[in-house]
Chains A and B, each alone.
Chain A
Amino acid sequence: MIPFSFLTPAFLAAAAAAALPLVLHLLRRHPEVRVRFAAVRLLKDAPVEQRRRRRLRELLLLALRVAALVLLAFAFARPYLPGAAGAGAAPITIVGVDVSASMSAPGQFAHAQALAREAVRNAPGDARVGLETFADRADLIVEPTRDRAIVLGAIARLQAGVGATSYRAALARAAGAIGAGRGAIVLVTDLQRTGWDGGGAAALPEGVRVTLADTGTPTGNVAVVDLRREEGGVVATLRNAGAAAASGGARLTIDGRQAGVQTWSVPAGGTADVAFAAAVPASGAAAVTIDDRTGATADNTRYLALDPPAPVPVLVIAAGDDALYVQQALDAGGADARFAVTTVKPAVVATMGAAGLAPYRAAILLDTQGLDVRGREALAALVDRGRGLLVAAGPGIDAGVLQSIVPKGMPAMDVTPPQTDGPGLSLVVADVRHPVVASFGPSAVSLGAVRFRRVARVAAPPSAEVVAQFSDGEPALVDLAGPSAHVLLFASDLSDRWNDFPRHPTFLPFLQEAVGYLVGPRRLPGGYLVGEVPPGVAARPGVVTVPAADGQPARRVAVNVDPREADLARISPADFQSAIVRLEDAGAVEARAAAAADENRQHVWWYALVLVLVVLVGESAVARRTT
């Protein structure tokens, strides 16, 4: 059996050309010329050929020519050795058990375990069987093995989880376990339709069969899908995914102590809010739990972190009172302010150094007087670490100093200061989709009310994006995007010296949005879904503490079950299989890509061509002695 597979097997047909030398050989079975010669006696002692030797040489020549052609066809067919899990390996059956939150209905997971055991027992006798569990992610619990007792034992220890269903993750992990060989995937699941939500393609190799073992769904399910603080207490939103109205009781606990009890009633397929009137502390952990005896239990409780979100530290570098308006605009909101603003003089930046700047998520540069080389380097390093920088090219900015602040991968900030006052200019938004101005929506035209008496000229490099421009067409706000951060360059000041921008209502939202854009997400999230927790946070429902990292303080957040898991809508097995068909096509592409990668790595064709060369050299040597 040939151990090779081929990327372009059609070229093997060219091996038929090997018949050519055979035919030629047969047509020229007496290739030697016969000459009646007078001086044969002078040849008798010459190193003449023996007939048998010549025949052998001819056969060798024929073999070499045939070999050269066959090897050439072989090389062009791009051969490669398939991996150990290739076609020749024993088939693999992966039993995938859905452990998402929707499987936590009473009795449902036991049914799933029974189906999984049945799948293991029904696997082909020569197959190796593996076990995976899947929800948001898929884990291979038992590597494919012939010892089915191990698999059965692992199934007995399984429990329903709290994650959301992702069939793509399940199929991708199972396909990875099967590799390029033959195999089957048995998914034990409740066929929840939301399991196909979300992006990301799953791919299955061709020849992998997918079988569904349907656990069924409970007749009803009521879930707490939202919990929020409101005036005078907290409000929970319940959703009834069942076909019948449901009612029951609900309990509010704050920091583990019961703080309220309510009853609820939700119509079939509807939602209802349940309000708890209670004294809610400024910080702590709240949870609402409902009684739902028919549906999944994992979605019966929802958690809320009562701690206010921590403001984002922002550094303003300014001399004198240039930072007044900026600081006021960013401090807006009082205790709920998004940003914690710190103002320093330019000369202080050097003493802070890179370490001192590290906690700040963004910096606003209004003055450069006194900003020495170390200060500039510290600012550049800040941007290199992914932090944002807003430069207001007002009277306090020295163009030369600004040009020497060059973060990695960013163009230099080329600014020409104005000499005199010019005609009054206004702002025109150039890209309404840019995050800095997107929230203005149609109100962006109100930015045009600002009057600029004096503006700097900013040279926008080709890679930069002009967010807004002045009415004379010159760039007003330029976004210099770097590898990991953004620098916004504003071509005037933010201190009411060259323009009246700080006295306009648009100043505050503009500055909030601009700095918000530079620091990243609007605010640090106060809660996560189980499948989206950041590193270091346990993926289980509850109020947990996210450790301090990357300049951010430690904070408490709520981790909840994905509300989509409360949805009992099912996908039919036929629709599921039709989705698999599409995945099979993608799998074929992946299999070909994997084959191409194998072939590319092994370079068997290269060795074949070298062999062709060797054979041709040999053929040439033998031919010279034969013809």
Chain B
Amino acid sequence: MDDGVSALVEMTGISKSYGGVHACRDIDLTVRAGEVHALLGENGAGKSTLMKVLSGDVTDHTGEIRVAGVPRRFGAPVDAQRAGIAMIHQELDLVPELSVAENIFLGREPRTRLRTVDRRAMITMTRGLLDRCGVRLDPRRPVGALRTGEQQLVTIAKALSLDAQVLIMDEPTSALSPVEVEQMFTVITELRRAGAGIVYISHRMDEIGRIADRATVLRNGAVVEEFDARELTAERAAEAMVGRPVQAMFRTRAVEPGEEILRVRDLALTPRRARSGRREPDGISLTVRRGEIVGVGGLLGSGRTELLETLFGAGPPGTVRGEILLRGRPVRPRGPRQALALGLAFVPEDRRIAGLAIDHSVLANTVLSIVERIATAGIVPRARETSAARRIVADLKVKVGSIGDAVGTLSGGNQQKVVFGRMLLTEPLLLLLDEPTRGVDVGAKAEIYALLGRAAEQGIGVLLASSEPAELVGVCDRVVVLSGGRSVRELDTSHAGEAELLAASMGEGSTAIAVDTGGAG
């Protein structure tokens, strides 16, 4: 390359589309030895797809990948692994019951002469690998007993044992505590010194400023800018990531907000048993009024989902502190059933896991929350049941042949409408929505936004958690920004835009964070 530092990986002219949608358009990306290369962009900007191409997960792309100057064509992730490229997944692929050493050497355990597993060799080799990362961990401990950050370090050690030269890290610090983040940075520094190249995906500007050398910003599947990471500020990055006026697909209403429906003050949850990967509320305050759509923003791992679950009584058992006032009355839902009775409704993030009985009928899924209410002496009148389902299917324009069809035969957007409809049938005061448009196509997205607007017009308060700044700014009246389980900022979307929201999310609460230059430069 230009400055004489050897390029480990050169990607040139990478394009990939799903259906008619371009996920990547003619992208060039270089990863050099001893470099941390940050990759920035909004959700859907093409980061994940590009990294899937590099790690051999997506293979039907165009363009060229050279590894150490040699053109390569990966047919599967294992090819990329052999070429020295390893992806550190957000969801860790480790077996919790096995030890650190067993996980690292899973499927290629060193053998003794008798063909039994050579535990001693395995443990010694694991120690060596962990030392290379500068990590102190007992190789014999079961992975399930480690904290999330330690588990992540194990995956990195595993990648190193496969002789990885290039490591792709996707939001590696999102679930980590500050101490774990420091440990992770030490490891990254070690790896860089050893000549590895690292692609680092993150939204946290403070982190990028500290450990990245270069930063590439993607938008709509293309590279828009390349920065020297040391000169990068949250605002400049956000501007590059957004780079356009907010799309006009969102609502254009202006409902006069009414009385206050929900007031949350200093909400915090201490779970009885800590679960890794969760960020329980730790000081959240917000209000929602009648007819208002309030957004919940913040980075991955900032505690958006956990906030909604706590309000709905669906969080892990533990001690809830702070106040939840519903129409001025203090409430503390102990479970979803009680929450629904109070007038709260919740549309969870993953409809297949938490929303639908996928091979039951649309009818059964739609009326589930009201069957008791419409029953007389425990018997559900079929006519009322079907008419309620038909009404909501028509209201929400769910595309379905017959309400007897299995809900699994519908498209993602229509499935989402079924969950949404089930909750609307309970006639809630307040609707809690977690990523309501994830995995639905653009058309269905617009329809769901319209439905939200209509619900708000009817006087329902809406609390909408989303990872898409465009959605929050476009749909919500106000956005409460979370960071580390706290509400750090509130934005009025009639003044603030996506860039401001992004900056607030990334900058731990302040709009113009001066990025630490890390001493180098």
Chains A and B bind each other: no
Interface residues of B (CB under 8 A from A): none
Interface residues of A (CB under 8 A from B): none
